[in-house]
Structure 1
Amino acid sequence: MRNIPVIEVQVNASKELCNFMRNIPVIDVQVNASKDKNEIILSPTTIFEPRTSAGRRDGSSGNSVSPTLHSVPAPEKKLTLFALRLAILEKAATGVGALGFIWATVVLLGGFAITLDKTDFWFITIILLIEGARIFSRSHELEWQHQSTSSIAHAGISSFRKLRSSSRALVESVKDMLSPIFYLLQLLSAIACVVLSLMKLIKHNYGEVAKGGTDSRNQKTALIIFYALALAEALVFLTEKVYWQWKVVICKLLEGVNQECNLGALGMISTQRFFYDSYARCINGSIFDGLGMDMVTFAMDLICSNSPDEQLIGARILHRFSFTKMFSDDTLQKIGTTLPVIERLVEILNWEDPQEEEIRLSAAKIVSKLAGKKQNSLRVTGIPGAMESISSLLQTNRSPSSTADEIGEKKIFDHEAYGYWTFNNLGLLILKELARDHDNCGKIGKTRGLLSKIIDFTHADETILKDSTVATLQVLTVERSLKVIKMLASTAGTTGKILRREISGRVFTVSNIRDILRYGEKRPKLQKRGIGILTSLAQDDDATDRIGGTGGVLKELLKIFFQEGVPKDQKDVRIVAGEALAKLAFGSKSNCHRILKLNVVERLIEALEIPLLHVNAGRILRNLCTYSGPESFNQLKGVTAAAPTVLKAILSGEGKLQEVMVGLAAHAFKFMTAGESTAVFESAGFKETKLACALVEILRSYRYPDIKVPRMRRFAIELAIWMMRDKLKNVQIFRDLGMEEELEGVLDTTSELESFNIFSGSIGLRRHSTTIHSLVETALMLLKDRFDQPIGH
């Protein structure tokens, strides 16, 4: 936290002359791609298992309070302390000067005007005129210093903003010329006062006082007091100017503070303006008024002003402090708790005038940092019109079509003189940060035209996808848009259902992802995010058929799944491709037929031997066997060749692999007759008794449903039912192993967790057609009577 401690005022400024600078290394902040480059993408859980609250995107794990940081002294306190000392000297000089002026006018000119010596009269007159002129020039100096920083700021953006008029330029140039002249006159007048006062104080030639005269008996004392006051005032003023020159010119205090604040070259304007404001407060009010100032509050005041130049200075300061590690947390906290500042930043996002590009860019970057904190993101989206303002950063639209049977052509703005792609990236970055919160996802989906804009940015040209050496803003835009869509499509609850329906309903969503799968071999990160979107969308039945019906999607997913020679750091793309295929095949007869037409059953059986692919290969084969229907019997007959591999995994595997293989066996073994199953067990070197023991042991090990393998008990019971129906002797084997007792234990511990095959967070989707309770009753009846009972899925 940046803090401004209470400052003990020391009148003797010499003690602080050399204790003023401590260089802090300049931190170079790269905004456009830093977050995404450092982003760690993990997939420890899938849609096939539920997630607890600790794993939610908007849980406390992602928005926990950062550790307490060591107190970091605010660099600008050196300026406020410097302004305090100058104010002390200035007010001291002004006070002594005022006392001398009163003394001269009331006592000398009022009481001894006739008896004053001619030289004293003219000395007093000259000193008063000089002091009057100097006080006048000093009274306007502070105002001109403020105006000079405004004019400098104005000139600092002159590369894209011209001076508003030639008359203003003339006035500014005149002021710039007069400022050093007045400064020189102030010094000369002070020196003149010192010389004149010393001449009189040293020579003591105050004229002769007539004997017996009572009107002039105190004249000499009055003159000594006046010249002493004039000398003291001039010396204090010169001391102030010497101190100023030492700290500013020789010690370069302003440059040092500017460097410590990491404000950059243009930051000198901000640093000067901050100092002059602090100095003005000390002069115009109490000398301690400027001590309460800090750079962040100062910048927030400026950005809320109506002056474009002041707004620019404020935006520059807040941008720099928000992205400097040492000051970032405190800066964002102050901005986040000041609603008018957030409203102004959001308002600036709508400013599309090219002359206001820099301030809009700074505001967008600040909002992107604010959105990274949960409480701040909620405050941002709580502002009316905030989502529309963020949407305005995404410069893309489709021209209106004259007929209802065609779609307008997409147009993405691009111009060398204006950073449209930069604003596109920042807009997507803000949306990505906001989408971490469930409520914000709903607001994004409800904002008119925003989803369409995001989806339009998921399109990438073939040339860009095939050339991995091209690192353009467009590639980053595609990456971030895919990330935003993935987060929206993964939203749980009713909001998630609506968002998935809206996303899949956009006609370009799936086709854009298909192009990434087809041509993005050299960009696996994009492929992985695109596949993740398909997996999330497939939670909706209509979207599942829509994805499978889009030409080439299933083919490209299988190509990626079976692809060999992939670097180790890119193998997770094959994993997510398999997960997507399993999800698309689940419950969709049409998609199962589309996959079977590609003749991949043998390759899927081979994939069961590959550790990277065996889990998802087993899921795909199980879904094909379960949902393809009787008309695909001949195509799936060859699945029985995988029996030895499946049995080995059941008996020796554990966890997810064992669950998947038990589920595959329960449905793949149905394609074998009793004789064929006996031959398979003998050729594999396994006895059916051993498999039965493994199934009973599974039920004993999983007394209660496990969130990591929620279908383990269901699949084990389904396989046991098949074994008892396959051979009568298996019924006796299970009786001897105590299967009946284990099944009764399952009846007492069933849970809704076992009723679903897919989960969205902790919400179950796609309920099984047959409850586990019904499966247990079927198995118990077989153990008693061996009546045939239908097996559900």
Structure 2
Amino acid sequence: MANATGGKHSVQIRGEQVEAAGKMATPEKWLNRFVRVVALIERTGNALGTLAFTWATVILLGGYPTVLDSKKDYRFITVIVFLEATRMFTRDNRLDYQLFFRSRGAFRLLGWNGLLIVIVYFSAMLMLSSKRGDDSFSVPLPVVIVAIVMLVFTFSDELPLSIVYDVSVLLLLSFGNFQIPAATVRVVLALAGILHQKDEPKKEVKPDCEKKDDNDSKNLKASLIIFYGMVLGQGILYIVACLLEVFSFIPRKYLIRHGGLGGQMGVENVNLYYAYAFEKCMEGAVLAPKKISLITFAMDSLNSDSSRKKLYGVQMLHKLLKMEQLRTKTITKLTNDTKTVASLFDMLDWTSDRDSEIRLFAAKVTAELAGSLRVVQIPGTTQLVASLLDTDHQQTTRDHFLFIDSQVGREDSPIQQDGMGQQNSPVLKYLKQMVIYCLIPVDEPSNVDEQNSCMVRCWKQITKCWSVPEEEPSTDQDFLPVQGLIILERLANFDLGNCMEISRTGLISKMIDFTSYRNHMISTNEAHQIMLASLSLRVLRRLASTEGKLGVTLRQQILEHTFILSNLAEIMDDNGNSHELKQLAAEILKNLAMDRNTSADIGHIRVIISSLMRAFLSQDPSSSTNSNHLLWKNAGQALAMLAMESRDNCLVMLMEQGYVFIRQLTTMMQDDRFKCIAASLLWNMCEHAQSELSNSDLKELSYILREVLEGIMDAEGAELEVLIGLSSQICQVIPEDFAREVEHGQIKEKFIKRLVEVLNAHMKPSVHCPRIRRVIVQHAIYLMEFNSRYANDFHKCWMVEALSMVERTPSRAENYRLLSGDTGLMEHNTPLTALVARAKELMGREWVRGISSVT
């Protein structure tokens, strides 16, 4: 019941999250609805116009050409038909149609510049006209300009005329196209035609000879009223659509604020999306569903031939990928569209200065998608990403004197000067400042009452709600090499095929160069240098930790770089470096040390082992932060890897000044977090540096023996393998102490039974503990070699049968110390079958000796 309740609760929470995400997933829905309404009104007007055009040409002009009133109806119909024909024939040309007959853009905002031009021009004309005829009238230009402002805000006889002029010109300049004038003409002509039909007197009864003419004009009045009614409806619908479109700033502002689209860039993006949505709604069938969204707009813009549209498209994609409610949907749509992804990668190679902004945003978007891409499907992508790592700030490397040749230096590109031309002239700026000065007081009055202050606060709150959010400030990540490394890291973490593609393009060498960050760049700031080093180490860590044969190949390619080990040593030895850099370097060293020859090469660089030991032994685990904990853990793992199969490295660790290595390791055995690491190091110290262990070291091993034996009784998996391996080495190094602990502790039978049970339970070796059968057999050999009586104890627990099973089920995995995926590393010198034969031989001797004694 509890599980059911918990399941229901989790489903309910997930449902609420999905519902909430659904509500927030489309911040453009209000704008889409608004556009659909305006487009539907305009398309309804278009349908009425087409019907009226057909009615006029077929019914009226075709059916009643001779009986129409030539002075009014015929002229009205002709004008309307030509007007409608112009609309119908321009709709195939989108630009012409937008210029003449489109509700969107029928009104336009003049802004400060347009408003000032109108006020200045007509007020100045009015002022000059009032002084016309006075030859002595001559004033300086500045005086004409404080006079214009004062004239506008001062009551005088000419003020009404000035206002009429201003309003008229404002109205004319506000028309963005001919839709409103054309719609007005339709309404005026239709109303005039309808009124004309109502005012027309009834015809008198005509003689029979004139009845033929009446038949020709039968239903003419009804046809004219129907026609004028359709035209009137068309004009009204157009005017309504245009007036409604004026309020499009409301859903647009809503989208800007709730869609996270700040700054001038966000405003332009929303305006373009509004135009895009309107075009989509005007296409196809009226009631057909339209796939209109910010995502489709961004993708269509990205695939266009216009650089400007590509810029807006990639900027919009960057915004969408930053929105949690749209991120998953955007990534899914993009990754399923190979054309769009290829276009995105192609922009990474746009190296001209005018394309720097679009290249940066393309890199940001690619970085967001890299965690879901397989670049094998798009050839050449890694080369395009590699171009982001190229920088003019790289320090020139001095060649060896034998390679020096005469080289022509490259001239630096001239610094581009900012254009001196400004969009606004100084006069307009001056006028704008003057008007603002006259309209807005500098300081608020000190005696403002509470009501006014409340109104001011409300007004400020309203303006804040409708203001455009500021653009996101640039960060240190807005640096192309940084974005390139972020892309590489996410590609490498997503797919092994991406790792192989990265290794084929020379990127490993570039990243290793970045790890020597103190000497690599000459003009980038320190923050960029640290980020480049950190990201490079992250990618190298991912490559070096790859499993299987691919991992062996990648590690070999990393090791082919001459300075990889020295760069890692520099990072580990520099106390000024962050724990993150050291932790990454230690993890890379651990992975590289899986190769026996590389482990020996690392051991020759004494500073590496010294730095690892300092990181592993010189910190208090109880007070360490998360970063310190990772550094401590990785340093210990790197030391354990270096100690495997390497007597020289074990001796270097054992002789390192300032540490009592064995004692510190035995102390760490008390901490469950690092028990396996400490046990592995002690195992290798006993196996490879036994002759160098002091008496105090042997006593420390004796002290922890009981803890090791108790751990074997409860541990599983890799920890059990390490503890049995350590126990076997202690048994070989101090056999008397081992026997005394087992005998006096009354755990001999229990311990031997545990070894046999574990041996039977691991007849199929696993990846995380491939040597467990080997260490058990080795432990049995050490016990029986020390005292043959242990053979009888193994006989009682059916050890011979267990060994026979091991002999019948050999595995190649047990010949290696480590398994990386399906690839074995550090092969043992002695095969497991030889150890089984030795154990059975020792048990056989004791069995024969026991039979002989009985006989």
Question: TM-score interval w.r.t. the shorter chain?
Answer: 0.7 to 0.9
Q: Secondary structure at the match of 2:176?
A: helix
Query: 1:496: Cα distance to partner?
Result: 1.4
**Correspondence for 1:620:** 681
Q: Which residue of 1 aligns with 2:818?
A: 758
Asked if residue 394 in structure 1 is aligned to residue 451 in structure 2, the reply is no
- Tell me the secondary structure at the aligned position of residue 758 of structure 1: strand
Contact 1:698/1:713 (CA < 8 Å) preserved in 2? no
CA 1:471–1:225 in structure 2 vs 1: closer, same or farther (change >3 Å)?
farther
Deviations, residues 382-406 of structure 1 (Å, cap 9, x unaligned): 2121110111122345646543889
Aligned equivalent of 1:197: 193
Q: How far does the alpha carbon of each residue in 1:613-670 deviate from its partner, in whole angstroms, 9 at most, with x for none? A: 4432232232233335xxx724556532233234212321132555334323433554
Number of corresponding residues: 672
Q: Quick check: which has more Rg, 1 or 2?
A: 2
Q: 1:494 to 1:132 in 2, by over 3 A?
A: closer
The C-alpha deviation readout for 1:573-609, integer Å capped at 9, x for no partner, is 2222111101112122332333233157733333212
Structure-2 change in CA distance of 1:404 and 1:558 (3 Å): farther
Q: Are the aligned partners of 2:756 and 2:797 in contact in 1 as well (CA < 8 Å)?
A: no
Query: Do residues 487 (structure 1) and 484 (structure 2) align?
Result: no
Tell me how far apart the structure 1 counterparts of residues 489 and 100 of structure 2 sit (CA, whole Å): 45
Provide the rounded CA distance (Å) in 1 between the counterparts of 2:201 and 2:291.
50
Give, in angstroms, the shift of residue 531 of structure 1: 1.2
* Letter matched to residue 757 of structure 1: R
Name which of structure 1's ranges 284-293 and 451-460 shifts more when overlaid on structure 2: 284-293
Q: Which residue of 1 aligns with 2:47?
A: 92
**C-alpha separation in 2, matches of 1:605 and 1:389:** 53
The 8 Å contact of residues 538 and 584 in structure 1, kept in 2 or not, is answered as: yes
What is the rounded CA distance, in whole Å, between the counterparts of 1:747 and 1:704 in structure 2? 15
Cα displacement string for residues 9-32 of structure 1 (whole angstroms, at most 9, x for unaligned residues)? xxxxxxxxxxxxxxxxxxxxxxxx
**Alignment correspondent of 1:55:** none
Q: What per-residue deviation string (whole Å, max 9, x for no partner) do you get for residues 63-105 of structure 1?
A: xxx9996694854552663365134323223214413652697
Distance in 2, matches of 1:720 and 1:300, equals 68
Please give the alpha-carbon distance, in whole angstroms, between the structure 2 residues aligned to 1:521 and 1:407. 36
Contact 2:663–2:697 (CA under 8 A) maintained in structure 1: yes
- State which of 369, 376, 380 in structure 2 corresponds to 1:385: 380
- Pick from 628, 639, 644: which aligns with 1:581? 639
Say whether the 8 Å CA contact 2:34–2:248 is kept in structure 1.
no
Q: Is the 8 A contact 2:56 2:77 kept in 1?
A: no
Q: Which moved more, 1:735-744 or 1:207-216?
A: 207-216
- The answer to whether the 8 A contact 1:639-1:668 is kept is no
Instruction: Tell me, yes or no, if the aligned pair for 1:547 and 1:553 is still in contact at 8 Å.
Output: yes
| Distance verdict in 2 for CA 1:417–1:643, change over 3 Å | closer
Deviation at 1:533, TM superposition (A): 0.8
The amino acid that maps onto 1:782 is L
Mean Cα displacement is larger for which, 95-104 or 380-389? 95-104
Identify the residue that residue 235 of structure 1 maps to in structure 2: 233
Question: CA, structure 1 residues 340+221, in 2 after alignment: closer, same or farther (shift >3 Å)?
Answer: same
Q: Which residue of 2 aligns with 1:317?
A: 316
Cα pair distance change 1:275/1:688, threshold 3 Å:
closer
Which residue is 2:552 aligned to?
Answer: 497
Higher relative contact order (CA closer than 8 Å, sequence separation 6+): 1
**Contact 2:682–2:726 (CA under 8 A) maintained in structure 1:** yes
Gaps of 5+ in 1: 1-65, 153-175, 465-469, 788-793
Inter-CA distance 358–223: structure 2 relative to 1 (3 Å threshold):
farther
- Gap change, CA 1:288 and 1:220, over 3 Å in 2: same
Is 1:281–1:287's contact at 8 Å kept on the other side of the alignment? no
**Aligned partners of 2:759 and 2:776 also within 8 Å:** no
What is the one-letter code of the residue matched to 1:450? Answer: L
Distance 1:754 1:125, change over 3 A: closer
Partners of 1:439 and 1:117 in 2: CA distance: 81
Match of 2:67 in 1: 112
Structure 2: where are the runs of 5+ without partners? 1-14, 109-171, 406-411, 416-472, 848-855
Match of 2:400 among 398, 403, 406: 403
Aligned to 1:553: 608
Indicate the larger mover: 538-547 or 93-102. Answer: 93-102
Q: Distance in 1 between matches of 2:498 and 2:364?
A: 19
Output the TM-score relative to the length of structure 2: 0.68
Whole-Å Cα distance in 2 between the matches of residues 733 and 126 of structure 1? 117
- After superposition, the Cα gap between the structure-2 partners of 1:282 and 1:605, relative to the gap in structure 1 and judged at 3 Å, is closer
Partner secondary structure for residue 764 of structure 1: strand
SS at match of 1:506: coil
Residue 678 (structure 1) aligns with:
736
Q: CA deviation at 1:483?
A: 1.7
**Kept in 2: contact 1:296–1:318 (CA 8 A):** yes
Range with greater deviation from structure 2 (484-493 or 518-527): 518-527
Shift of 1:768: 1.6
Task: Give me the whole-angstrom Cα distance separating, in 2, the residues matched to 1:234 and 1:96.
Answer: 12
**Offset, 1:559:** 0.4
Q: How far apart, in 1, do the equivalents of 2:683 and 2:491 lie? A: 38
Contact 2:752-2:794 at 8 Å conserved across structures: no
Change (3 A) 1:737 1:310: closer
Counterpart secondary structure, 1:95: helix
Matches of 2:300 and 2:845 in 1, distance apart? 84
1:666 corresponds to 2:724: no
Corresponding residue for residue 526 of structure 1 = 581
1:359-508 matches, within 5 Å, as 359-373=358-372, 377-378=373-374, 380-396=375-391, 399=396, 402-403=399-400, 422-436=479-493, 437-447=495-505, 449-461=506-518, 472-508=527-563
Residues 450, 750 of structure 1: alpha-carbon distance in 2 compared, 3 angstrom cutoff: same
Q: Is the 8 A contact 1:80 1:290 kept in 2?
A: no
| Residue aligning to 2:98 | 142
Question: What is the TM-score with the length of structure 1 in the denominator?
Answer: 0.73
Counterparts of 1:645 and 1:775, CA distance in 2: 29
| Secondary structure of the corresponding residue to residue 349 of structure 1 | helix
How do 1:640-719 residues align onto structure 2 when only pairs under 5 Å count?
640-654=698-712, 655=715, 656-672=718-734, 677-678=735-736, 687=744, 690-691=747-748, 693-705=750-762, 707=766, 708-719=768-779
What amino acid is aligned across from residue 535 of structure 1 in structure 2?
Answer: K
Give the drift of 1:786: 7.2
Give the distance between the partners of 2:844 and 2:605, measured in 1 at CA: 50
Post-superposition shift, 1:557?
0.3
More off after superposition, 209-218 vs 305-314: 209-218
Identity fraction in percent: 23
Residue 845 of structure 2 corresponds to 785
Identify which range, 612-621 or 73-82, moves more after superposition: 73-82
Quick check: 1:432–1:480 contact (8 Å CA) kept in 2? yes
- Structure 1 counterpart SS, 2:515: coil
Aligned counterpart, 2:836 = 776
> Which deviates more from structure 2 when the two are superposed, residues 123-132 or residues 487-496?
123-132
Residue aligning to 2:305: 306
Tell me if the contact between 1:659 and 1:709 (Cα under 8 Å) persists in the aligned partners: yes
Cα distance per residue 1:182-228 (max 9 Å; x no partner) = 34423432442244234313422599998755547655853563354
In 1, the alpha carbon distance for the partners of 2:71 and 2:362 equals 67
Change in CA separation of 1:723 and 1:315 when aligned onto 2, cut-off 3 Å = same
Give the structure 2 partner of residue 39 of structure 1: none
Q: What SS class does the counterpart of residue 291 from structure 1 fall into? A: coil
Asked whether the equivalents of residues 421 and 474 of structure 1 are also in contact (C-alpha less than 8 Å), the reply is no
Q: Which moved more, 1:729-738 or 1:341-350?
A: 729-738
| 1:255 positional shift | 4.1
Deviation of the 1:249 alpha carbon: 0.4
Q: 1:726 aligns with which of 760, 773, 786?
A: 786
Closer/same/farther in 2, CA of residues 405 and 557 from structure 1, 3 Å limit: farther
Q: What amino acid does structure 2 have at the position aligned with 1:711?
A: R
The question of whether the paired residues in 2 share the 8 Å contact of 1:582 and 1:619 is answered with yes
Q: How far is 1:555 from its partner? A: 0.2
1:534 is displaced (CA, Å) by 0.7
The 2-side partners of 1:145 and 1:322 are apart by 37
Question: Which structure's residues are more often helix, by fraction?
Answer: 2
Structure 1 residue 425 displacement after superposition: 2.8
What is the Cα deviation at residue 696 of structure 1?
4.0
- Structure 1 residue 543 displacement after superposition: 2.1
* Superposed displacement of residue 331, structure 1: 2.7
Task: Provide, for residues 351-371 of structure 1, a one-character-per-residue CA deviation record: whole Å limited to 9, x for no partner.
Answer: 122322333233323333333
